[in-house]
Structures are given as structure tokens and as C-alpha cells.
Amino acid sequence: MALRFSYVLHPFLLLLFSSSILAHNEEDPTIQIMEEFSGYPIHEPHSSSSSSLSSLSVDTESLQRQIDELSSFSDTPAPSVTRILYSEKDVLARRFIKNLMGLSGLSVREDAVGNIFGRWDGHEPELTAVATGSHIDAIPYSGKYDGVVGVLGAIEAINVLRRSGFKPKRSLEVILFTSEEPTRFGISCLGSRLLAGSETLANALKETVDGQNITFFDAARSAGYATDREDLSSVFLKKGSYSAFVELHIEQGPILEEEGISIGVVTAIAAPASIKVDFEGNGGHAGAVLMPHSRNDAGLAAAELALAVEKHVLESGSIDTVGTVGILELHPGAINSIPSKSHLEIDTRDIDETRRNNVIEKIHQSAMTIAKNRKVKLSEFKIVNQDPPALSDEPIIKAMEAASQELNLTHKLMISRAYHDSLFMARVSPMGMIFIPCYKEGKLVGTVSYI
């Protein structure tokens, strides 16, 4: 069941290099090319490209051991993993990662919400750094690889580079993002959204509580973070803070495994919008109120809207447009009552923001028309979030493709239909993602996070 790290990490390593060197190198062009393709600085004595590449060797056993050990910081029994933001297990897992970063010679910094940065200073530290990372929080009963491969893999990549004697020109940074999963506070990619400078989120967090009515700030404080209650702007990164950000992640889908392809090079990340809709009617007894008269059934309005969502999504004409009614609740929910209230939650995603927003607009129009025709009240139509999709950076895509080719690995350009911290990092840095196959869609134990 172990992921095939021996080949998985090689392109990642190469990428760390090539992207660090691709960006704005104004020196001798021959040096640039050698460095891009060898992954080794030109002044290293034996830098003939493929031989040095294949000599980069990942300690897969120790990496697998670390993944297993990290999975033991869990609130549910093995093999499942449950690690909720700022819980005791999360704090212990963070300590484990910081310790590994220290052992790898990285200098560790944490921000006010617990994003963790491990930095290896380059020999030209004034240049912007190259960063990579992912998350280690885990939704209830998830598997042990989601997010984790992108963090532990990055630390091992640093180890490999150190063992090979490499000295980076740009600084390299490993990032652990706080709360990619929305489990505790209902906010996904909390850490990376703040890094990307979301004022809206920084303000919303002042009022945010979890299911136990514990405030975000109390929870953060119990884990040793957010000592300053009001100001999270310290977390914001300036645009251009990194010359490149890359994330390694399991695909969480069947394509690579089914097609026997080693590497997915992500070209775009689709972004979801979510919508909450409420209809209200008069209700009434299922026997007493006759069909042709005065029924205004909030349940039928919801059913009609659910079908309209499917229709509008299909009308977009693109396979990349998707829409789902994942929640449909009727009130009072009795077999002999005409529903007086209905509640729907709609998720719609696309890699093209305009196309997705058109779908949202059509759904809104339909909701109003349905309410009018069925004489129910559209009491709420709320767009809860509407994140813009992100495109990967073209030079990073090229570097990943070149790396795969050089390593004789099959690869495929793909769209990430789940979203990741990379979606938000793309707002402050050129971004790229590598997917690796995951055994049975990552369902090693029960569920995987599709957020």
C-alpha cells in the first residue's frame, strides 16, 4: 500500500531546482540551461545531467516510517486518521513536523495562526525563495496520505538535496498550512487564505466559533497561537513573496491509478462556489389540501431547482463545469405534511470563473421563476463563497513535464477538481501542483477529503 515514493519524489526534487533557477536568471544562459536540466549547480564537479539525477536517492523506508508515525497522532483508531485543527493531536503532530524540520537543518518560523515555515537559506538569500508544502490536518476517518505526502515529502526532498551536497541559490522553504480542512470552523484553506491576504477572513475569524461554541481565538491560543486577538494581518504575505510555490498531493481521483500514469501535472485548479437556498410555503395536511387548489409546496420548488441546477451546468457545454445539490432538507419532514420549508445547498465548480458565475446567475434566475410559479417565497439565496479558480504557472508546468521526461516517468496534464492550498498560494506566487496516483482513489481507509 505504500506509495511509490522512489519515483514520485524525483521530479519533485528536480522541480525544486529548476523552478528556483528558471525565475529571472540573468546570468550566462548556458549555465542556466545546465542548471535547469541537471538539477545541480554548474560549479559542482560531476554534474552530467542524468547520472546526477539518478543519484538523488530518496530514503523511502524512513519516509514511510514518518508517514506511519504521523498517522498515529489521531483521535480515531488506526488505520483511520482524525486530526482536527488545534486539538491536542494536532499540536503533537505539529511538534513532530517542527522536530523533523529542525533535524533537516531548516530554521522554523510559525505565524499567528500556526502556518509553519521551515527555511533553508540559499547562497543568494536576497532572492525570493521557492516554497513547497501542504497540510497535515485530517477530516474524521481519513487516510494517512492526504496532505501529508506534500509535507513529509518536502522535508525528505530537502534531506536528499543535503545528502547530495547541493547548495541552493535561492532559499527553499517547506510550508505546513493550517487547517486546509473545514472540519472545525467550517472554513477550508484557512491558513493559505490568510497568507493570500484575505481581509474578509481575518475579520470573520473575530466572530467565528466551532460546534462547541469555542471561539477561533481561544482555540488558537490553546494551541499556542494568535496571542494578538485583533490583528491577523501579520499573517498576510506580500504578492511576489515566493518565486514559485509547488505542492505535491495525492490525486484523490481514479485517473492516474486506472491509466497507470505516474505523474499528474496540474494545469488548473477548479474553484467551488457554494449557494444556500431556502423556499417557504404554507404547508398543510397532505390529505386535506387538494392538488389543484392553493398548494404551494416548498419541497417541489426545491426539487425543481435541483433539476434546474443540473440543466444549467450541462448547458455550459464544458466537461469542466459541475454542479451538485448535496443537501436538500424538507420541513417538517413528515409523510403527511406538505413541506412548508425547504433548504438546498448547491456546490458548483469550474476552471473558468465567468462560465461558473454564469451558471450561478442562471440558478438564481430559476430560483426566482420557480418561486413565482409555485407561489412560494424565496426566503434566501445566498452565495456563501465564490473563490476564483487558479491557473498553474506555465514555466512551472514546463519544468514538471521536462522533469518527468528526463526521469522516464509517464505523465499527464490534469485539472485539479478538488481544491487545495495551492489555489490560494496562486494569488501571491507562481504556482504548480504534482499529483501522484493513490491506491483506490486514496480510500486506504474509509473516506478521503475531496474539499
Torsional sign, CA 33, 36, 37, 40? positive
Residue 373 interacts, among ligand NAG, Zn ion, none and using kind-specific CB cut-offs from 5 to 8 Å, with: none
If the CB atoms of residues 13 and 101 are measured against ligand NAG, the closer one turns out to be 13
Residue 53 interacts, among Zn ion, ligand NAG, none and using kind-specific CB cut-offs from 5 to 8 Å, with: ligand NAG
Kind plus residue range of the DSSP H or E element containing 270: none
359: left (phi over 0), alpha (psi -120 to 50) or beta: alpha
- CA–CA gap between residue 333 and residue 16 (Å, rounded): 55
Q: State the nearest-atom distance from the C-beta of 78 to ligand NAG, in Å.
A: 34
- List the grid coordinates of 46: 560531476
Q: Among residue numbers 309 through 348, which ones bind ligand NAG (CB under 6 A)?
A: none
If the CB atoms of residues 92 and 409 are measured against ligand NAG, the closer one turns out to be 409
- 442 lies in the site for Zn ion, by CB under 5 A: no
- List the grid coordinates of 85: 485543527
If the CB atoms of residues 35 and 181 are measured against ligand NAG, the closer one turns out to be 35
- CA–CA gap between residue 335 and residue 286 (Å, rounded): 8
Residue 147 interacts, among Zn ion, ligand NAG, none and using kind-specific CB cut-offs from 5 to 8 Å, with: Zn ion
Q: State the nearest-atom distance from the C-beta of 376 to Zn ion, in Å.
A: 39
- Under 8 Å between Cβ of 13 and 157: yes
Residue 387 interacts, among ligand NAG, Zn ion, none and using kind-specific CB cut-offs from 5 to 8 Å, with: none
Q: Give the residue, chosen from 146, 247, 280, 350, that forms a contact with Zn ion under the rule CB under 5 A.
A: 146
- 41 lies in the site for Zn ion, by CB under 5 A: no
The residue whose grid cell reads 548556458 is 30
Q: Give the residue, chosen from 29, 45, 77, 213, that forms a contact with ligand NAG under the rule CB under 6 A.
A: 213
Provide the 8-state DSSP code for 389.
P
- CA–CA gap between residue 179 and residue 210 (Å, rounded): 13
Binders of ligand NAG: how many residues, by CB under 6 A?
6
Provide the 8-state DSSP code for 59.
-
Kind plus residue range of the DSSP H or E element containing 108: strand 107-110
- Under 8 Å between Cβ of 169 and 20: yes
Q: Please name the residues in contact with 64: beta carbons below 8 A apart, sequence gap of 6 or more.
A: 2, 5
Binding part of the chain for ligand NAG, among 20-28, 48-56, 131-139, 339-347 by CB under 6 A, reads 48-56
Q: Give the residue, chosen from 6, 48, 50, 62, that forms a contact with ligand NAG under the rule CB under 6 A.
A: 50
Q: What is the contact mask toward Zn ion in residues 92 to 131, using x (rule: CB under 5 A)?
A: ----------------------------------------
Q: What is the CA radius of gyration of the chain?
A: 24
- CA–CA gap between residue 377 and residue 174 (Å, rounded): 51
- 54 lies in the site for ligand NAG, by CB under 6 A: yes
- 408 lies in the site for ligand NAG, by CB under 6 A: yes
- 57 lies in the site for ligand NAG, by CB under 6 A: no
Binders of Zn ion: how many residues, by CB under 5 A?
2
Binding residues (CB under 5 A) for Zn ion: these are: 146-147
| Site residues for ligand NAG per CB under 6 A | 50, 53-54, 213, 407-408
